[in-house]
A = this chain, B = another copy of it.
Amino acid sequence: MTPEALDAADVLAPFRQRFTLPAETIYLDGNSLGALPRDTAARMAEAVRSEWGEGLIRSWNDAGWVDAPGRIGDKIARLIGAGPGEVIACDSTSVNVFKALTGALSLAPERRVILSERGNFPTDVYMMQGIAALGGGQVEARLVEPGALEDAIDQTVAVVLVTQVHYKTGRVRDMAGLTRRAHEAGATIVWDLSHSAGAIPVDLAGAGPDFAVGCGYKYLNGGPGAPAFLYVARRHQNRVMPALSGWFGHADPFAFDDTYRPAEGVGRFLVGTPSVLGLAALEVGVDLFLEADMATVRAKSLSLSGLFIERMAPLCAGHGFRLASPENPAERGSQVSYSHPEGYAIMRALIARGVIGDFRAPDIVRFGFTPLYTSHADVAAAVAVLAEVMETGAWDRPEYRSRAAVT
């Protein structure tokens, strides 16, 4: 089928009108920062002018601010196969990794190894290393090659930290299988769902892991630096004493007593005062996503990425691109990456022409496919622009090689 025919048959196509996208741009970076939902600006204006400006302190109760982390957490739970009361929206993914790992360590005091894979998303690895340094040699942050991860789960491992969809390659890990493997070895497991939530169907209830974390600003379209989320399996919630024991996780924060006593349930993993404005934007993105059927989103995602790979074949043959993502759709998240030695300059040239993907060092160009606002026509057009950039050599200019940009 042609891209146009695929788009004509696309039941998700009406969602595109629910986003505000810049003109003359093909945005294939929603896996890094999701697009702006059309309703967000009005919701933010309401949160600022009415709730904050008029309601002032009263809005903690009257506008539901105090319930926002749990309320939005419950909504995210529906996107990742978790139950009500198992997810909260708060803090950053990194901080939530810290909570999950220290929580997992506390569940297995006789084991002291945090295990992950080399090339995992850096903040996951760095947070492990910080915990190890904090533990003064009591805790070991152990990294193994990705292919060796499963076999490395031995009796010394307290917790495995693994990302379901790899940020560079988009490769999907088998959540159920690796969780089973960890549990068989007496370890717990923390899944990073930053590139999963809203990207692929996730079944936490079915897979049964112990903790999970993820990002609000990617596929959930929660806005730049949106609050992240934390999942704690119900069976663990009241067994874990939070290491980041802030007042919002206290059983009775407004009793102002001198002894930390954690709230029942996942709420104990809140720390400081929630980011109300960030949560307001996040909720719009999550609400919008909940209108879509995740199986339909997944089908369209694979249709988009499949078309992209098909159209990229001549550029692989003639211009040195090498597919860095799985060809098998079942193993692929909602992104496709290629390695190319001139990837940095090529991506700058593409962005200058309104096709926005991103670059990940040392040589990966990365394209995200967000079915709510990306069409098959976008995909075909993006490859056509890239083909022109390669055929004309337009990428080979000093301003594209200059490394000033950070993302």
| Contact among B57, B247, B351, B358 with A94 in the assembled complex (CB-CB below 8 Å) | B247
Whether A56 and B44, one on each chain, are in contact in the complex, defined by CB atoms closer than 8 angstroms, is no
Contact status of A127 and B246, CB under 8 A, knowing A27-B56, A56-B27: yes
Which residues of A (69-128) have their CB < 8 Å from a CB of B?
91-95, 98, 102, 109, 118-119, 121-123, 125-127
Which residues of A (329-378) have their CB < 8 Å from a CB of B?
351, 356, 358, 360-361
Q: What are 26 A-B contacts defined by CB distance under 8 Å? A: A33-B52, A36-B53, A44-B44, A57-B358, A92-B275, A93-B272, A94-B271, A95-B95, A95-B271, A95-B272, A118-B258, A125-B259, A126-B246, A127-B246, A130-B241, A130-B245, A130-B246, A130-B260, A133-B241, A143-B258, A168-B256, A225-B279, A226-B275, A254-B407, A255-B361, A277-B278
Question: What does the 1/0 interface line of A49-65 toward B look like (CB < 8 Å)?
Answer: 10111111111110001
A189 sits at the interface (CB 8 A): no
CA distance A246 to B93 in the complex (A): 9
Identify 9 new A-B residue pairs, CB closer than 8 A, beyond the known A94-B272, A119-B258: A25-B56, A36-B48, A36-B49, A36-B53, A41-B53, A60-B224, A66-B406, A130-B243, A275-B278
- Chain B residue with the shortest CB-CB distance to A55: B22
State how many angstroms separate the Cβ of A305 from the closest Cβ of chain B. Answer: 19
Contact status of A361 and B256, CB under 8 A, knowing A53-B22, A130-B245: yes
A155 sits at the interface (CB 8 A): no
Which of A134, A143, A279 has its CB near the most chain B CB atoms (within 10 A)?
A134
| Contact among B60, B93, B130 with A406 in the assembled complex (CB-CB below 8 Å) | B60
What residues of B have a CB within 8 angstroms of the CB of A25 in the complex?
56
Contact status of A244 and B130, CB under 8 A, knowing A122-B250, A225-B273: yes
Which of A109, A123, A405 has its CB near the most chain B CB atoms (within 10 A)?
A123
State how many angstroms separate the Cβ of A215 from the closest Cβ of chain B. Answer: 8
- Chain B residue with the shortest CB-CB distance to A29: B57
- Chain B residue with the shortest CB-CB distance to A63: B224
What residues of B have a CB within 8 angstroms of the CB of A93 in the complex?
272-273
> Could you tell me which A residues sit within 8 Å of B by CB distance?
20-22, 25, 27, 29, 32-33, 35-36, 40-41, 44-45, 48-49, 51-61, 65-66, 91-95, 98, 102, 109, 118-119, 121-123, 125-127, 129-131, 133-134, 136, 138, 143, 168, 217, 223-228, 241-248, 250, 253-260, 271-279, 281, 351, 356, 358, 360-361, 404-407
| Contact among B256, B258, B406 with A61 in the assembled complex (CB-CB below 8 Å) | B406
How many copies of this kind of chain does the complex include?
2
CA distance A257 to B121 in the complex (A): 9
Whether B122 and A247, one on each chain, are in contact in the complex, defined by CB atoms closer than 8 angstroms, is yes
Whether B271 and A281, one on each chain, are in contact in the complex, defined by CB atoms closer than 8 angstroms, is no
| Contact among B22, B52, B278, B361 with A278 in the assembled complex (CB-CB below 8 Å) | B278
CA distance A125 to B130 in the complex (A): 23
Whether B32 and A92, one on each chain, are in contact in the complex, defined by CB atoms closer than 8 angstroms, is no
Contact status of A129 and B259, CB under 8 A, knowing A275-B275, A407-B61: yes
- Chain B residue with the shortest CB-CB distance to A21: B53
What residues of B have a CB within 8 angstroms of the CB of A259 in the complex?
125, 129
What residues of B have a CB within 8 angstroms of the CB of A20 in the complex?
49, 53
Whether B45 and A57, one on each chain, are in contact in the complex, defined by CB atoms closer than 8 angstroms, is no
Whether A244 and B98, one on each chain, are in contact in the complex, defined by CB atoms closer than 8 angstroms, is yes
CA distance A170 to B113 in the complex (A): 46
Whether B356 and A57, one on each chain, are in contact in the complex, defined by CB atoms closer than 8 angstroms, is yes
What residues of B have a CB within 8 angstroms of the CB of A361 in the complex?
254-256
